[in-house]
C-alpha cells in the first residue's frame, strides 16, 4: 500500500508534471493508487498525494450509493476546457484528515484528458464525478480544499492543521513520515 502525503508535505503544493509516456512502472502505480484509495475510503486520488509529481489521478465512486455502475477512471494530463453552473458541497480529503470544507465549484465541466493508452478524450461530466475530478485536478495544481476558506475560517482550523503537520491524528491509512 502507498503512503499518503498530508498537509505540510511540500509535494502537495507543487504542480504536477505532464506525462509523456506510459511504462510498466506507471501501470503498476495506477494499480497501487486504486488499491490505496479503496483501502482508505477515498473516491479520488491524485499522484502527488502518494509522492509522485505527475499529472495522474484516479477516480472510483462505485462505493457511493447510486454510482455503483460508474466506471472507475484513470485520468492523465487533465485540462478543464469549459465549465458551467455552480454547486456547493462539503468535501473531505485524505491529505487533510478530520477536515471538511464547503467548496463552491462549477456543476458541470468539459474535460480533455488522456487515458492509460495515452488516447485523448474530451468528455462532459456533472454531479459527483465532476466534483471529484475538480478536487483531484486541484491537487495536481498544488491546490487544497482549505484554500477555498476565508481568512477567518482558515484561522479557526489552524490548530487542526498544525496537528496534521505533526501527524497528531488518527487515520485508517498509512501516511508519509514526518519530514524534518
Ligand atoms: Zn484531496
Question: Cα(36) to centroid of ligand 1, in Å?
Answer: 13
pLDDT of residue 156: 95
Active site positions, annotated: 136
Closest CA to 78 of 101, 104, 44: 44
Query: Could you tell me the pTM of the whole model?
Result: 0.96
Closest CA to 177 of 169, 167, 168: 167
Q: What is the rounded CA–CA span in Å between residue 59 and residue 39?
A: 13
Q: Give the chain's mean pLDDT.
A: 96
pLDDT of residue 2: 96
Q: Which three cell numbers stand for residue 85?
A: 453552473
Other Cβ atoms within 10 Å of 26 Cβ, number: 18
Q: Over the stretch 31-61, which tens digit does the pLDDT of each residue have?
A: 999 999 999 999 999 999 999 999 999 999 9
Question: Cα(23) to centroid of ligand 1, in Å?
Answer: 26
pLDDT category, 180, cuts 50, 70, 90?
low
What are the backbone angles phi and psi of residue 102, rounded to the nearest 5°? -75, 120
Question: Cα(15) to centroid of ligand 1, in Å?
Answer: 14
Closest CA to 1 of 39, 30, 28: 39
Radius of gyration of the chain, Cα coordinates, nearest whole angstrom: 16
pLDDT of residue 170: 87
Amino acid at each position: 500500500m502507498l503512503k499518503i502525503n498530508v498537509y505540510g508535505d511540500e509535494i502537495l503544493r507543487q504542480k504536477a508534471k505532464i506525462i509523456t509516456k506510459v511504462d510498466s512502472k506507471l501501470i503498476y502505480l495506477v494499480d497501487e493508487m486504486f488499491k490505496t484509495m479503496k483501502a482508505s475510503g477515498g473516491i479520488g486520488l491524485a499522484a502527488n498525494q502518494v509522492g509522485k509529481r505527475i499529472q495522474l489521478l484516479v477516480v472510483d465512486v462505485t462505493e457511493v450509493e447510486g454510482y455503483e455502475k460508474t466506471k472507475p477512471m484513470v485520468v492523465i494530463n487533465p485540462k478543464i476546457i469549459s465549465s458551467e453552473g455552480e454547486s456547493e458541497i462539503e468535501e473531505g480529503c485524505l491529505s487533510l484528515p478530520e477536515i471538511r470544507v464547503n467548496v463552491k465549484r462549477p456543476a458541470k465541466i468539459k474535460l480533455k484528458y488522456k487515458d492509460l493508452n495515452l488516447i485523448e478524450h474530451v468528455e462532459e461530466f456533472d454531479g459527483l464525478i465532476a466534483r471529484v475530478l475538480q478536487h483531484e485536478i486541484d491537487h495536481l495544481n498544488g491546490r487544497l480544499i482549505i484554500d477555498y476558506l476565508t481568512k477567518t475560517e482558515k484561522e479557526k482550523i489552524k490548530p487542526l492543521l498544525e496537528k496534521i503537520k505533526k501527524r497528531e491524528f488518527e487515520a485508517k491509512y498509512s501516511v508519509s513520515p514526518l519530514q524534518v
